[in-house]
């Protein structure tokens, strides 16, 4: 069966550049990307259709390369995301690297030389494969053993789960911090969470499950396969999207089926703003904060900084509020020119952002004195990274 369209799941903390790159990859593959869905949202969708009782859930998603936590309210077929957070550079591969470093250091201490990718790529990759296997073994057993070898020398490594827990403690603690942050953004306490849903293969690690049980006062749910939850949820979401578009929905046997009756209300994973001068320094000014329900439309007002300026430029950004421009990401700009003169500092320029679940951003600049406007609808351009100019 030829696939012409798809809903693609991505880590919740993917920024706009990463999401746009995902869409472009689909285009290059000849697949129309119907919609991008956050992986924890998809995971929650899979659990929800398995008969989840109404309530607020935490979807804890620790995969191979990223970590996401999403707080979602489920009421029947309605899924409302309250907040999402994460770290796109935190996952199972970091645990593999910790074990790899431990093994390489033990070998160096024994034989006086270090195994690196540059000195012995075959041996290095063999160790990486073995520590990954040991990680999986320690999720099921109290001990794991493996042998590493290089340049005719061999060393047996014996690891206990207690040692493993010590190695991964900082990573597990980091996910706990981010989970607390997401709960705060959702205005929920741990006691408000009905269940913790596990997504991603790294959630099989006992230390992760023990931390969550301690934090929430209950063991996380393990009734769904964490490796498959996102794929199942994304498939459900694709069937819903196709049904909404009037397309036929079929099962794996090619038989027509009714699309699932679900409603998904997601939030922005990152803030959207623009650059503005504050105390003479150009800083980020957030207009749509992170975790705003989608679709969103918000606005703010600004002033020109000089009596002689007859135009305004909005430089589109993502990043925390009030940070220096070097600490945020820029995605292009929109201009409004031919403005009548006015005193510097007079609040007279309105900037309005509208953002959809499909990633479409509408930027509108309005001069509140003359009524003149400039508006543009765009997908945030992956390649357009202007150096920026002072708001005039």
| Residue 10 to residue 86: CA distance in whole angstroms | 12
Instruction: Establish if 364 belongs to a structural domain.
Output: yes
What integer is the mean pLDDT of 260-274?
Answer: 82
pLDDT confidence band for 385 (50 / 70 / 90): very low
Count of domains forming the chain: 1
Give the C-alpha separation, 332 to 129, whole Å.
43
| 240-245, Cβ contacts within 8 angstroms, sequence gap of 24 or more | 240/264, 241/7, 241/34, 241/35, 242/5, 242/34, 245/34
80 has pLDDT over 60: yes
The answer to whether residue 331 sits within a structural domain is yes
258, pLDDT greater than 60: no
Residue 149 clears pLDDT 70, i.e. is over it: yes
Q: Is residue 83 part of a domain?
A: no
Identify whether 132 is part of a domain: no
- The mean pLDDT value of the chain amounts to 85
At 44, is the pLDDT very low, low, confident or very high (cuts 50, 70, 90)? Answer: confident
Please check whether residue 363 lies inside any domain of the structure. Answer: yes
Residue 8 lies in a domain: no
pLDDT top residue among 385 and 219: 219
Q: Is the residue at 333 inside a domain?
A: yes
| Tens-digit pLDDT profile for residues 237-257 | 887 777 666 655 565 566 655
Q: Which domain holds residue 349?
A: 272-379
59-63, 153-157, 305-309: lowest mean pLDDT where?
Answer: 305-309
pLDDT band for position 384 (cuts 50, 70, 90): very low
Residue 336's domain is classified under what CATH number? 2.60.34.10
Single pTM value for the model = 0.78
Q: Specify the pLDDT at position 387.
A: 34
Residue 66 domain-assigned? no
pLDDT of 381 reads 41
**pLDDT, tens digit, for every residue of 90-118?**
888 999 999 999 999 999 999 999 898 88
* Region 291-299 average pLDDT: 92
Mean pLDDT of 375-386: 54
pLDDT at 173: 96
Lowest average pLDDT, out of 74-88, 124-138, 143-157, 345-359, goes to 74-88
Q: If pLDDT is split at 50, 70 and 90, which confidence band does 359 have?
A: confident
Confidence of residue 389 (pLDDT cuts 50, 70, 90): very low
10 Å Cβ neighbour count for 16?
22
Mean pLDDT across the stretch 36-43? 81
Strand partners, 317: 273, 330
- Cβ neighbourhood burial of 312 (10 Å; 0-12, 13-18, 19+): buried
pLDDT for residue 40 is more than 90: no
Q: Residue 32: is its pLDDT beyond 90? A: no
Question: What are the backbone angles phi and psi of residue 169, rounded to the nearest 5°?
Answer: -55, -40
Q: Is the preceding omega at residue 356 within 30 degrees of 0, hence cis? A: no
Identify the pLDDT of residue 54. 84
Q: Name residues whose C-beta falls within 8 Å of residue 178's C-beta, 6 or more positions apart in sequence.
A: 67, 69, 85, 86, 87
Answer yes or no: are the C-beta atoms of 276 and 283 closer than 8 Å: yes
**pLDDT score for 250:** 60
The pLDDT of residue 231 is above 80: yes
The stretch 165-194 carries a mean pLDDT of 95
């Amino acid at each position: 069966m030829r696939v012409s369209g798809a809903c693609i799941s991505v880590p919740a903390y993917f920024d706009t550049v990463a999401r746009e790159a995902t869409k472009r990859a689909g285009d290059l593959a000849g697949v129309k990307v119907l919609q991008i869905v956050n992986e924890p949202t998809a995971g929650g969708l899979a659990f929800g259709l398995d008969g989840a009782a109404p309530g607020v859930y935490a979807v804890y998603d620790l995969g191979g390369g990223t970590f996401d936590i999403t707080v979602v309210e489920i009421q029947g077929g309605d899924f409302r995301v309250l907040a999402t957070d994460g770290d796109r550079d935190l996952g199972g591969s970091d645990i593999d690297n910790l074990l790899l470093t431990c093994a390489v250091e033990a070998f160096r201490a024994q034989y006086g030389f270090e195994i690196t990718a540059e000195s012995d790529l075959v041996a290095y990759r063999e160790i990486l494969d073995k520590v990954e296997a040991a990680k999986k073994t320690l999720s099921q057993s109290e001990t794991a053993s493996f042998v590493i070898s290089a340049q005719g020398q061999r060393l047996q490594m014996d690891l206990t789960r207690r040692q493993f827990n010590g190695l991964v403690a900082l990573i597990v603690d980091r996910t706990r911090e981010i989970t607390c942050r997401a709960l705060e953004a959702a205005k929920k306490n741990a006691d408000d969470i009905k269940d913790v849903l596990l997504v991603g293969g790294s959630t099989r690690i006992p230390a992760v499950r023990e931390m969550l049980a301690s934090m929430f006062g209950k063991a996380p749910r393990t009734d769904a396969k964490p490796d498959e939850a996102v794929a199942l949820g994304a498939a459900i979401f694709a069937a819903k999207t196709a049904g909404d578009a009037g397309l036929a929905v079929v099962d794996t046997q090619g038989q027509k089926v009714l699309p699932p009756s679900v409603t998904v209300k997601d939030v922005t994973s990152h803030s959207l703003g623009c650059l503005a001068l504050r105390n003479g320094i150009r800083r980020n000014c957030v207009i749509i904060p992170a975790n705003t329900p989608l679709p969103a439309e918000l606005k703010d007002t600004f002033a020109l900084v000089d009596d002689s300026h007859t135009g305004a430029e909005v430089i589109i950004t993502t990043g925390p509020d009030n940070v220096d421009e070097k600490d945020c990401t820029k995605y292009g700009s929109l201009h409004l020119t031919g403005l009548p003169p006015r005193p510097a500092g007079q609040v007279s320029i309105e900037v309005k952002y509208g953002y959809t679940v499909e990633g479409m951003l509408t930027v509108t600049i309005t001069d509140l004195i003359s009524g003149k406007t400039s508006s543009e609808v765009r997908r945030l351009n992956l390649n357009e990274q202007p150096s920026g100019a002072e708001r005039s």
